[in-house]
Structure 1
């Protein structure tokens, strides 16, 4: 117990100090703590290192270390549940280590009251207390690491695998189900033309036209970059960009160095946002080529200056953002993979990582994870370092509420990504020890996977998802999913301000996770002969699976912004594709018709908004749209 109060002292008994806050060792053992800082009596007797984690008021003063501890506890809870399920105990008892309400850290609006823990090395040694009492799992993304160790271990929640369900009117062969990878790897290379945008066409005959970019041009485009892309992906420091990268670039003609590459990449991304905000002078002859001239100019220079250093990692990550905006999946993976590989070289060579280097690690981790979640691309192995890299903390977040909000948004993305990886691992991934799975297709065991999903595991994963939502700061907070509030906002749908976009991104991740967690129930509903054969729990789960998928599409911004401006646009489209397939299957099923979302007819509007341009930018989107037309 963390707080002991209101206890009466027995007559004649010596008074002793009661624990206002249990030390970490006593907290893990769930024993009372005779607190006597700096070392409690128990730790003093055993010669243990005694450390304290200050309890905090609701939604105040969350440290990065506390967030890491919560994720560790989640991992331990799931490992314990998995062992019980494997033993056939569908109703597990309370595990020895669990999340207590008073132990849940809450996110503050000003995180800078805590400093980033110093990074002692990449292979931290367990403490004596951990060796004696058994340490909780380290900050390790078990779900992703196991996937990286075995490429044959695939999950079956990819949207096209919904078509393998026996209720699907459209049947694809095993080779046809691989169409996303085949289409993306066989598409033509991105054009290497370096023509200037419309506003600079007077310099079209000059191969070095980028040197004619005036300071006001760069400042204008950089403003759009930092307003639109920067809040969700802190690759650069705004202060460092203006004081260092831009300052060095403006000393004369644009030199062939990394600073110039960074400036040009920022301008390329900024021109995409500016063009879609009505500034057509930053467009190219073809609408799909917006920003391409600036990007190719940066790419040519980077080819000559790339080295194994952190500025090169920044360039590669910015390139990955540009390719993602253009829905160039293979190209995005290629440069992200290079960034991850460079980090794998740099990190072990440093005794201590700076805060911005930790930030780059986690950005690369998230960008690669988003691609691996949708496409069967080879991983870099970066996830195996997640155990050793501290969570990032942006400098100056204490004095800038804007940076504090961006920081918590990024930390929330890391946590939800890890939770999604655990969902795939514990509900849908195969047992690596089973050799028969190594050659079979992801769809071969679909009925067994969906029908055998443990109700207790589903409940625990959903509980952890709700805990993640409850820990969000007030500026990013949103209400729990409820079928009664499952509606799209009324039109007209205008572009959203930054804070609303960030909240929408997190809501989309929340609803995507909930939909995948409850997908086994919609499978059961679609394959039931009558709704009366389903339990109330199964009906509620099926309703949540489709309803949350619908709210994911609504929250992602598909109705508000062009697909190319969305956060991880290919993931937004593929999540919508999964929703559209489920709505099609449910609308044609008498037994599962109860699971249709309230505004399900809006799905067609979303399809048109996403596919109109998306099908021109990506063959995967074009093929997905073709499938939806066949199903309609």
Structure 2
């Protein structure tokens, strides 16, 4: 399977099926079977596409009726009174039949599209390709698409501060999990220094970026990058957007570690000199990277004024650097600015109507998804940040295509072996992760319906939605290409030689699956009035138990001390997993009927302690991690 094929299979379905190839979400979206009441309502609403084919007399005698009005020929000949039913009994089946035939025709067209050179090009992206939700009676296609692309302000089961509001936790938490200092930038001690890069170091940094960072987020045009590297080798750094771009990449490359190394080390405590463990970036890496980053910052005005995609890339790179250094809000500012620059670029191109290369179109798509994913990711834990404006963009939501082979400059052929080997997997990961992000947005939207006061009927409606999302997640899993296959959690542990992209894909899957189960834990924990039926308690308890097993699995299998751009968010998510284990234990101690069927992992306290140790180790990096550690210690002392 080529990268173009996967882009076709995983593309976002939105407008005319005849013009677009199917997406992973078209495969994953489960159509809900209409209930009789829904069909009756729909039949009344819809205009009849045909009259009744037979009068009552002809129906009873099973003779052919010409359906003439006011009397058919048979009744007129026999002198009978000719009566037609007010509604055609077959109209319900006709409606469904038409939809089924339409779905079959659409699927035939989709298969035909797939056979045309591995899928159509991105030139025909004037509309939004549709998803086959014709039989989905709860939501319209527009509503489903809106829930896929948009995140929500907050839900009772996502952000740490929202989970701490569950009624099994004390109302007086000892400290806020997000201090005001998170919103301030850290001081760069090397902001006034300048580095003179040697040609050898330039090539080393280039290779580090292409082999270690770029496969995780392929939003840089590598041919353009190589051109700029040649420019720096030939003419040196300039006050330009291209030099800002190169320096931003070098800042990331210089600070990046080696997967999957445990980066903990001992250092002296500043107060008493005793040895303490830290995962701070080694000084030589941090210094070199900080110098490059400061040099890039001095050229940010050129990136801000740039009207191409280069300025967008610069701010995405800077945002990634801030995240690596546990400055989440500063990183969000960069991605927010990148989104603004992308929107400006897109509006200019829309009005100008000039021809652009497939390479540029692909980069535009990749940067769109990179910016939107980054903003949504940060708002997952900081829901008070403003919504991402790109989710309301009129940009076609088709996913990006990628070259069948990773392009590389002839001059650097000997330096790009690692990237050529991992490029297809990186493209697959990028597309699959975007599709999973859309499913996660739908899950978060469904979670807004959760309430501490749900009755049996309300709980059933929410449960049906989450069960549907579970089915979509299973379809997503079945569509993964072989290069991203992983041992299925929680029953199978990951392989020892698991590649980094496979690890990230597996962890993304667990994140979504656990969140879907967390909804059932919330329902069970808050059912103090015993409004759930016994079958509901049994079913929801089983799903909540699976979620707790996934919490334990994620804590056990993660590489917690390998540093990457998502390490800050990972600390908070693991804190949330520990909160779920604590919530279940505290609810079980209340001995309510709704928690009778919840099974907590036997050694659940050990997993909470592991999270506590993790937070302690990362606490000197800032970002509010120390506050998480204090809060978890306080809760654990009341629960163990």
TM value normalised by structure 2: 0.68
State the alpha-carbon separation in 1 of the partners of residues 248 and 437 from structure 2.
27
State the alpha-carbon separation in 1 of the partners of residues 282 and 482 from structure 2.
41
Partner of 1:171: 172
- Which of 436, 448, 454 is equivalent to 1:448? 454
Shift of 1:514: 1.2
Tell me if the contact between 1:264 and 1:294 (Cα under 8 Å) persists in the aligned partners: yes
Partner of 2:45: none
CA RMSD of aligned residues (A): 4.7
State the alpha-carbon separation in 1 of the partners of residues 178 and 506 from structure 2.
26
Alignment of 1:293-304 (within 5 A): 293-304=291-302
- Which of 2, 5, 8 is equivalent to 1:64? 8
| 1:383-412 CA distance string (max 9 Å, x none) | 123761431122244895522111110001
Shift of 1:164: 1.6
Shift of 1:452: 6.0
Alignment of 1:388-427 (within 5 A): 388-397=396-405, 400=420, 402-427=422-447
| 1:19-44 CA distance string (max 9 Å, x none) | xxxxxxxxxxxxxxxxxxxxxxxxxx
Shift of 1:556: 4.7
Tell me if the contact between 1:615 and 1:622 (Cα under 8 Å) persists in the aligned partners: yes
**Pair 99,192 (structure 1): closer, same or farther in 2 beyond 3 Å:** farther
Tell me if the contact between 1:470 and 1:477 (Cα under 8 Å) persists in the aligned partners: no
2:132 aligned with 1:124, yes or no? no
Shift of 1:262: 2.1
Partner of 1:256: 239
Single out whichever of 60-69 and 362-371 deviates more from structure 2: 60-69
| 1:396-443 CA distance string (max 9 Å, x none) | 44895522111110001110000000011123258xxxxxxxxxxxxx
Tell me if the contact between 1:521 and 1:538 (Cα under 8 Å) persists in the aligned partners: yes
Alignment of 1:313-328 (within 5 A): 313-328=312-327
2:209 aligned with 1:225, yes or no? yes
Partner of 1:615: 619
Bigger RCO of structures 1 and 2 (CA < 8 A, at least 6 apart): 2
Shift of 1:587: 3.4
Partner of 1:626: 630
Structure with the greater alpha carbon radius of gyration: 2
State the alpha-carbon separation in 1 of the partners of residues 569 and 117 from structure 2.
35
Shift of 1:305: 4.8
| 1:22-71 CA distance string (max 9 Å, x none) | xxxxxxxxxxxxxxxxxxxxxxxxxxxxxxxxxx99x9954526643342
How many residue pairs match? The answer is 513
State the alpha-carbon separation in 2 of the partners of residues 246 and 569 from structure 1.
29
Tell me if the contact between 2:244 and 2:296 (Cα under 8 Å) persists in the aligned partners: yes
Shift of 1:462: 0.2
Partner of 1:359: 366
Structure 2's unaligned 5+ residue stretches are: 13-21, 42-92, 266-279, 408-419
Tell me if the contact between 1:396 and 1:403 (Cα under 8 Å) persists in the aligned partners: no
State the alpha-carbon separation in 1 of the partners of residues 401 and 229 from structure 2.
24
| 1:163-182 CA distance string (max 9 Å, x none) | 22222245349xx76x5374
Tell me if the contact between 1:405 and 1:475 (Cα under 8 Å) persists in the aligned partners: yes
**Pair 422,477 (structure 1): closer, same or farther in 2 beyond 3 Å:** same
Tell me if the contact between 1:504 and 1:557 (Cα under 8 Å) persists in the aligned partners: no
Tell me if the contact between 1:158 and 1:374 (Cα under 8 Å) persists in the aligned partners: yes
State the alpha-carbon separation in 2 of the partners of residues 142 and 286 from structure 1.
46
Single out whichever of 298-307 and 323-332 deviates more from structure 2: 298-307
Shift of 1:310: 0.7
Shift of 1:532: 12
Partner of 1:30: none
Shift of 1:125: 7.7
Tell me if the contact between 2:618 and 2:625 (Cα under 8 Å) persists in the aligned partners: yes
Shift of 1:334: 0.6
State the alpha-carbon separation in 2 of the partners of residues 615 and 72 from structure 1.
43
Indicate the SS of the match to 2:549: helix
State the alpha-carbon separation in 2 of the partners of residues 556 and 391 from structure 1.
29
Indicate the SS of the match to 1:448: coil
State the alpha-carbon separation in 1 of the partners of residues 553 and 141 from structure 2.
33
Single out whichever of 373-382 and 231-240 deviates more from structure 2: 231-240
Partner of 1:577: 575
Partner of 2:389: 381
State the alpha-carbon separation in 2 of the partners of residues 105 and 318 from structure 1.
40
Partner of 1:370: 377
Shift of 1:299: 0.9
2:569 aligned with 1:568, yes or no? no
| 1:181-230 CA distance string (max 9 Å, x none) | 74522xx42214336xxxxxxxxxxx6632x2112222223332222221
**Pair 99,600 (structure 1): closer, same or farther in 2 beyond 3 Å:** farther
Tell me if the contact between 1:222 and 1:270 (Cα under 8 Å) persists in the aligned partners: yes
Alignment of 1:330-345 (within 5 A): 330-345=329-344
Shift of 1:274: 4.2
Shift of 1:319: 0.5
Alignment of 1:58-207 (within 5 A): 61-62=5-6, 64=8, 67-68=11-12, 69-70=22-23, 71-72=25-26, 77=31, 114=118, 117-120=121-124, 124=127, 137=141, 141-143=145-147, 147=151, 156-169=157-170, 171-172=172-173, 179-180=177-178, 182-185=180-183, 188-194=184-190
Partner of 1:28: none
- Which of 471, 478, 501 is equivalent to 2:486? 478
State the alpha-carbon separation in 2 of the partners of residues 578 and 604 from structure 1.
10
| 1:304-326 CA distance string (max 9 Å, x none) | 45323211111100001101111
Shift of 1:584: 2.0
Structure 1's unaligned 5+ residue stretches are: 1-55, 88-92, 196-206, 431-444, 490-495
State the alpha-carbon separation in 2 of the partners of residues 618 and 359 from structure 1.
31
Indicate the SS of the match to 1:250: helix
**Pair 296,78 (structure 1): closer, same or farther in 2 beyond 3 Å:** farther
State the alpha-carbon separation in 2 of the partners of residues 60 and 421 from structure 1.
25
Tell me if the contact between 1:616 and 1:622 (Cα under 8 Å) persists in the aligned partners: yes
State the alpha-carbon separation in 1 of the partners of residues 133 and 508 from structure 2.
34
**Pair 629,287 (structure 1): closer, same or farther in 2 beyond 3 Å:** farther
- Which of 532, 544, 547 is equivalent to 2:546? 544
Partner of 1:24: none
State the alpha-carbon separation in 1 of the partners of residues 264 and 380 from structure 2.
34
Partner of 2:471: 463
